[in-house]
């Protein structure tokens, strides 16, 4: 019997439903890598839903006045618009004595350069909003700050 869990995401005053098992990044574009600990599929599903919610929340914020604030909000909007074009790697890390799931996103168009992405971390120092990261705390169910790579 198939079970459904409905998560409600709040962004810009509207309710955005996201059903467990229904997310914009298909399972074949997700990988759990070896880290300091190994998260479960259930934990990574929750991490992904929380990361998507954080992107939507960030995109709905006022852009601010500094170039960095504007880049952050505009980057989140671009990420949200192209969410189906990303792959994600989940890695269990210990940060300040707490277990977190490091979620690292990159465009599926880059598969040709990262042929072993399901085994090795994809690390890119620039690349703009095509490459972004979020740490998720499975104990609290919350994400840290959305990190978007610079344009380089």
Q: pLDDT of 45-77, one tens digit each?
A: 999 999 999 999 999 988 878 888 888 899 999
State the Cα–Cα distance between residues 136 and 152, nearest whole angstrom: 26
Residues 10 and 50 sit within 8 Å (Cβ to Cβ): no
- The pTM assigned to this predicted structure is 0.83
Q: Answer with the residue of higher pLDDT: 2 or 25.
A: 25
**Helix or strand or coil: residue 115?**
coil
State the pLDDT confidence band at 4, using cuts at 50, 70 and 90.
Answer: very low
Across residues 102-124, what is the average pLDDT?
Answer: 94
Burial of 81 (0-12, 13-18, 19+ CB in 10 A): exposed
What the block records as the tokens of 18 is: 């996201």
pLDDT at residue 116 greater than cutoff 90: yes
State the pLDDT confidence band at 18, using cuts at 50, 70 and 90.
Answer: very low
What the block records as the tokens of 39 is: 């998260």
State the Cα–Cα distance between residues 55 and 72, nearest whole angstrom: 10
């Amino acid at each position: 019997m198939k079970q459904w869990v409905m998560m409600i995401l709040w962004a810009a005053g509207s309710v955005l439903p996201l059903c467990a098992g229904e997310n914009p990044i298909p399972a074949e574009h997700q990988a759990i890598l070896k880290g300091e600990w190994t998260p479960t599929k259930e934990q990574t599903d929750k991490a992904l839903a929380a990361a998507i919610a954080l992107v939507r929340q960030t995109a709905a914020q006022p852009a601010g006045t500094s170039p960095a604030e504007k880049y952050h909000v505009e980057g989140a909007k671009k990420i949200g618009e192209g969410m189906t074009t990303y792959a994600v790697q989940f890695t269990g890390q210990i940060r300040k004595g707490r277990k977190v799931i490091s979620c690292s996103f990159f465009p599926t168009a880059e598969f040709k350069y990262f042929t072993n992405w399901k085994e090795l971390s994809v690390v890119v120092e620039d690349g703009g909003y095509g490459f972004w990261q979020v740490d998720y705390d499975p104990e609290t169910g919350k994400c840290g700050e959305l990190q978007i790579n610079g344009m380089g």
